[in-house]
Amino acid sequence: MAQVEPFAALRPKPELAARICELPYDVLSSAEAREQAKDNPLSFFHVSKPEIDLPENTDQYSPQVYAKGKENFDKLIREGSLKQDSQPYYYFYRQIMGKHAQIGLVAGASCEDYLKNIVKKHEFTRPDKEDDRVRHIETLNSQTGPVFLVYKAVAAVDAIAAKVTSQTPDADFTAKDGVRHTAWAVRDAATIEAIRKEFAKMPALYIADGHHRSAAAGRVYKSRNGAGHSAFFLSVIFPDNQVSIQAYNRVLKDFNGTDAAGLMKKLEKVFTFGSQSTAQPTKKHDLSLYVNGKWHALTFKPELTKIAKGIDGLDVSLLQNHVLAPIFGIDDPRTSKKINFVGGIRGTGELEKLVNSGEYACAFSMFPTSITDLMTIADQDGIMPPKSTWFEPKLRDAMFCHMI
């Protein structure tokens, strides 16, 4: 059963939250972070991407980068911009992006649960990225970027969340990208115990986003033998019926020795072509192809989808197995230089721009993977193909930090 615990969060002063809290460290480049933080000494990018305060040619994995992050982190604490709560609480964190709203529980998830696969994974991790997060946690003695977890929705937790979030929030701000972030601390002992008991009934939690953060937390926990507060990792845990997954689209460098006409001929063996052009697929097994300035609606042929189950039945798998590998010669999309991935938040206009510029030959617009498919595959201990999901809105670093 899942163990989640309250903790004494390090949080920004409410009036400074909009200036401090930032996107996760891994969704933008060092150059982009440097630009966004240049006029804001409180920006958490000075902690999460501290290479922005060092010469531009600095190796982002060098010891001085982590040391600079600690220096900047300690300064925010020393000056009172970040302050730790006096005792452990749960927290609720609401995000509103356009018409979409989601409310998650902020808590410490168990590293033991992660190691025992009660916290379920669906992606491989890269050792270099794990090492980076381990060094960041160890240097700061804090987890500053939350893992995005999902649970199968429970009415009792919904009721608690509704009650808590009807009260005056501790922090409430709208970020530069228009996403509103609101936080409430759960200070009532009876409510804290009720939350703990509800999650203790859950057979599993699922990682939506943050495989490297959770893997790093597990490694720190083992190296410290659970000392301090290292046995738990910073998480925001959402009900599955509230999360929003966007497509993760593909752009291809070339036609692998053929031309656009030759490509279309090969694709006829895999897809049924729709009569209308559309940039945005509307259902599972539908894709859209952009080539030569035009969109084409595609549907995987039934003989392919009927026999493909589990991981092989995902659109990203069908595309890889029947198109990217045999037609484009991309056997490993993790390492191939012939493919790139574009998060759905950038829109299909970004795909058109990349192809029209001549940098890429064509693009595939995907239908989003469902959260149900993700959880089913995780329950089967399956590993999804790379770049299968893009969750929005993104959690903000520094809304809550977990001191270990």
Domains of the chain in start order, with CATH, are 4-244+392-403 (no CATH), 248-367 (3.30.1760)
pLDDT for the residue 308: 81
Query: Which single residue is written with the structure tokens 């507060």?
Result: 229
Q: How confident is the model at residue 386 (pLDDT cuts 50, 70, 90)?
A: confident
DSSP H or E stretch at residue 317: helix 315-319
The arithmetic mean of pLDDT across residues 199-218, rounded, is 97
pLDDT for the residue 275: 86
Q: How confident is the model at residue 310 (pLDDT cuts 50, 70, 90)?
A: confident
pLDDT for the residue 177: 93
Q: Which residue has the higher pLDDT, 153 or 335?
A: 153
Q: Give the distance, in angstroms, between the CA of residue 274 and the centroid of all CA atoms in the same chain.
A: 33
Tell me the one-letter amino acid at 124: F
pLDDT at position 328 over 90: yes
Mean pLDDT of the chain: 96
The bridge status of strand 286-291 relative to strand 362-365 is antiparallel
- Partner residues linked to 322 by β-bridges: none
What CA–CA distance (Å, rounded) separates 7 from 46? Answer: 24
For residues 397 and 73, the answer to whether their CB atoms sit within 8 Å is: no
pLDDT at position 302 over 90: yes
Which residue, among 353, 351, 356, 357, has the nearest Cα to 339 in the 3D structure? 351
Q: How confident is the model at residue 334 (pLDDT cuts 50, 70, 90)?
A: confident
pLDDT for the residue 307: 84
pLDDT for the residue 168: 98
What CA–CA distance (Å, rounded) separates 21 from 45? Answer: 9
pLDDT at position 313 over 90: yes
Percent of the chain, pLDDT > 90? 94
**DSSP letter string, 114-171:** HHTTSEE--S---HHHHHHHHHHHHHHTEE-S-EEEEE---HHHHHHHHHHTTSPPSE
The two tokens of residue 365 are 């617009």
pLDDT at position 267 over 90: yes
Q: Where are the beta strands (DSSP E) in 240-356?
A: 245-246, 248-252, 271-273, 286-291, 294-300, 339-343
Q: Tens of pLDDT along 128-183?
A: 999 999 999 999 999 999 999 999 999 999 999 999 999 999 999 999 999 999 99
pLDDT for the residue 207: 97
pLDDT at position 260 over 90: yes
pLDDT at position 67 over 90: yes
pLDDT for the residue 226: 96
384 phi, psi to nearest 5 deg: -75, 155
Per-residue b/e over 10-45, b at no fewer than 16 CB within 10 Å? Answer: bbbbeebbbbbbbbbbbebebeebbebbeeeebbbb
pLDDT at position 229 over 90: yes
Percent of the chain, pLDDT > 70? 100
pLDDT at position 36 over 90: yes
Q: Give the distance, in angstroms, between the CA of residue 4 and the centroid of all CA atoms in the same chain.
A: 20
The arithmetic mean of pLDDT across residues 381-393, rounded, is 91
pLDDT at position 277 over 90: no
Tell me the one-letter amino acid at 99: K
The arithmetic mean of pLDDT across residues 12-18, rounded, is 98
The arithmetic mean of pLDDT across residues 186-215, rounded, is 97
C-alpha to C-alpha distances, 115 to 109, 110, 218, nearest whole angstrom: 11, 9, 7
Residues 6+ apart with CB under 8 A from 19: 40, 42, 43
pLDDT at position 276 over 90: no
Cα diameter, the chain: 67
pLDDT for the residue 375: 96
pLDDT at position 309 over 90: no
